[in-house]
Amino acid sequence: MSAHPKSSHPGTYAILAGVELIQGLGLGEIVKRLHLGNRLREAGYRILAFYLAEMAVRKLHSAAGYSSVAQFAHRKLGLSRQRTSELILIGKKLLELRLLDAALLDGSLAWSKIVELVKVVTPDNQEVWIKHAKGRTVRQLADDVRAARRGELPHDPNDGRGTPHTRFDVNARVGKNTHNGLEAMRDRLQQKLERPVTTAEVLDEYVRICPVDLSPPTFVEERDENGEATGELIEDGRTDELDPNTSGKTSKKMRDQVLNLDGRRCQHCGCMHGLHVHHVVYRSLGGRTVISNLICLCKKCHGLIHDDYLVCQGTREEGFRFFDGEGRCLDDEYGDTPPEHRVPLAAPRKSADADEPAEPYPDPALPPEIVSVGRPDVPDTIDGEWWRRHAELIRFRKGGVIELKPGRPLDISENAEVNAEEGAEGGPSETKRTPLSIEEAFRGLVFPTRIHRLFENTVTAALKKGEPVAHTLLTGPPGTGKTSLAEAIAAAIGTRLHTLTGVNLQDPHTLLSTLAALGPDDVLFVDEVHGASSDVIDVFLGAMEKGEVTLSVREGALSRDVKLKLPPFTLLAATTEEQDLAQPFKDRFGIREVLGFYEFNALVGVVLTIARRKGIEIDEEAASAVAFSARGTPRVAGILLDRAHDVAITAGSDEIQPQHVEEALETLGYDDQGLDPTQQRFMEVLETSVGPISLARIAARLGLSEATVMREVEPWLLERGLVVVTPRGRTLRWLHLLGDRAENEGGNRRAL
């Protein structure tokens, strides 16, 4: 980005990246320059800000046919509403802040710093802020801006401890007398400071001169020279300046030790940015600069502590505890600490009579169960019961790491009550469900005889051996009964069925809670397992082969491996894309079965079974008509049956007749060959093409993705033999046969 002298053209504001920033241009030229600024990325933000502000002031978006500048910028430039509003605001302010704009144009300030500076800079103080910003990083400058009000000068970075002050927005409607009083105080303060003042400064001045003591003294526990609590309360007399008689500041070496022990994250909120090291017992109260008295906090939580909105107590050996300003423990178990058990943080105010002693302060002791709360120890091997008892204390971190926060695990009795209330999802039952007979469990499932016999033998053998059913992988198109088979197996064994979807399994932590809830011989059904991430598949590998999952547990700066033992269970995985699964994962399944499209006679039986289950009367001819158009899947057959039943009810008939099915198919757009509208369009594309056509071109003509065409449209057409896939692309079968015949005849003539 370079700066150039100002052009002599009237209305020219500046020249940036070879583009004159000229006010008063026409809509077409402004749009052209906006597109140029958008292509320049960060270098073009000034161009975008200038002309978007110009559009907002002149309301040119209306002439372009848009209701707002934000809508125009989103449609034409791809900018979000938030970014557009930010650019318009900055563009308007930079018209007033000429020195700040000049610093941007000559490259001495980056755009990211301009974004922060416009929040506080005014024409009167911009020169000071520009000089200050040149020596600060963007993050440091953002902190300086956050600590200042609009119109204020930047604070000296070396005038404090580096903890930000907590600020509040105060909006109130006041009466006439209050307003006049505030304005009178504003006039006096302006005369005193010889500059304009804001309402916030007026309120600060009022609090300063107010005769009422708004900041009652706070009390903390006294510590002896070894850092141990004596049980006595002393007044917290700390000031903003460090007491020179206390121990020295924290050295860089000790600071790094504390950060490493705490895993370089805030021990209150878990943040990993802007970390400070805080003295739990203040140096002004004799707190020593030793590891046991230091804790890692982010700058926001550090500021809350120094503003008395957050209190930290304890030692590194006992565990640290956090309380709010009223003494309530902020751990999850004690969020509603009763008043009699709260930590006394502030002393009661003295009465008006100075000789009258203050009321005695309550005993600061906490209940024993709260005092002893720390981080639970994690054994080398854990099971599902341990996981469920500590579930509320487990935190998941990046990189597959878990850690435990301080707190009390759930009692076994409490866990039993929770499980009783949650039922199948809360944890494994003590007793199995009553298993159904094989005939009753598999009733209503219409599979080939071979598949029926396979799973009947497998389930019967598992029950006799007292073992879970072998892990099973089911492959086939949607709607072919994979979920129904999983439900039947769980019912026959008499265990619970846990259901997950592969696309929702992107993080291993999502799977761990379900694995920990498994009971002996439970069935875990994962639909569309090919959508699970590789990290999740790695967890499955250990769970299937060894019956355990290896976890990485962080304890301070160190991590160690812990094994989560699982009870014997059955993984039933379903997929439509077996080729997308890793070979080691497929090799761990004891049964791999393909559930293809149903034969016509079997599908007629499915239609009759569904109708009988729903109490619908249908004759066999109508059931055959439904099965013919069901694309070989029970799911579609059930949908078509419901639509035909709607037509029959509308016609006043108690039984579905063939004409009802025909009318239902006609309203859904099916043709005489039982093809739905999308399949018909697929066939039309092939009929009108010259030779084979690629999948990408077919998907583009249909307005669908290639995956949708492969998974939902063409499988049934390939099954019926209407379409052929050749090395050159897709084509109709009769055209393919005709082409082969022509090639053979041509070859014979050449041979003659």
> Which amino acid makes up residue 208?
R
Estimate to the nearest angstrom the gap between the alpha carbon of 603 and the chain centroid: 43
168-183 as b/e: b if 16+ CB within 10 A: eeeeeeeeeeeeeeee
Dihedral angle over CA of 629, 631, 635, 636, nearest 10: -40
Helix and strand numbers (H, E) in the chain are: 31, 22
C-beta separation of 236 from 217 below 8 A: yes
Catalytic residue among 575, 576, 609, 633: 576
Q: Strands 401-404 and 548-555, how do they pair?
A: parallel
Q: Strands 275-279 and 294-298, how do they pair?
A: antiparallel
CA distances for 91 relative to 5, 399, 416, 463, angstroms: 20, 42, 62, 75
CB atoms within 10 A of CB 535: 14
Q: What angle do CA 284, 288, 293 make, to 5 degrees?
A: 110
| Tokens representing residue 544 in the block | 């299937």
List beta partners, residue 382.
Answer: 564
Per 3-state DSSP, the chain is made up of helix, strand and coil in percentages (nearest 5) of: 45, 15, 40
User: Is 482 one of the annotated active-site residues of the chain?
Assistant: yes
- Can you list the alpha helix ranges (DSSP code H) found in 338-494? 368-371, 384-389, 412-422, 438-441, 449-465, 482-493
Q: Euclidean distance between the first and final Cα of the chain, in Å?
A: 76
| Tokens representing residue 692 in the block | 């084979």
Q: What angle do CA 271, 274, 277 make, to 5 degrees?
A: 90
Q: Strands 497-501 and 523-527, how do they pair?
A: parallel
Q: With residue 330 as reference, give the H or E element that holds it.
A: none
Catalytic residue among 283, 316, 408, 482: 482
Burial environment of residue 202 by CB neighbours within 10 A (0 to 12, 13 to 18, 19 or more): buried
236-247 as b/e: b if 16+ CB within 10 A: bebeeeeeeebe
Catalytic residue among 250, 483, 575, 633: 483
Catalytic residue among 144, 331, 522, 527: 527
User: Is 635 one of the annotated active-site residues of the chain?
Assistant: yes
Residue whose C-alpha is closest to residue 231's, from 241, 242, 222, 244: 222
Dihedral angle over CA of 299, 305, 311, 315, nearest 10: 60
C-beta separation of 633 from 477 below 8 A: yes
- Can you list the alpha helix ranges (DSSP code H) found in 658-732? 658-668, 677-688, 695-702, 706-708, 714-719
Residues 300 and 307: their CA atoms lie apart, in Å, by 11
Residues 725 and 682: their CA atoms lie apart, in Å, by 13
Three-state secondary-structure class, residue 44: helix
Residues 3 and 711: their CA atoms lie apart, in Å, by 57
User: Is 188 one of the annotated active-site residues of the chain?
Assistant: no
| Tokens representing residue 617 in the block | 């009367």
C-beta separation of 226 from 245 below 8 A: no
Catalytic residue among 397, 405, 635, 720: 635
Q: Would residue 78 be called left, alpha or beta, if left means φ above 0 and alpha means ψ between -120 and 50 degrees?
A: left
Q: What angle do CA 240, 244, 250 make, to 5 degrees?
A: 80
Rg (CA), the chain: 37
Compute the Cα dihedral for 538, 543, 545, 550 and give only its sign: positive
C-beta separation of 56 from 95 below 8 A: no
| Active-site residue list | 482-483, 527, 576, 635
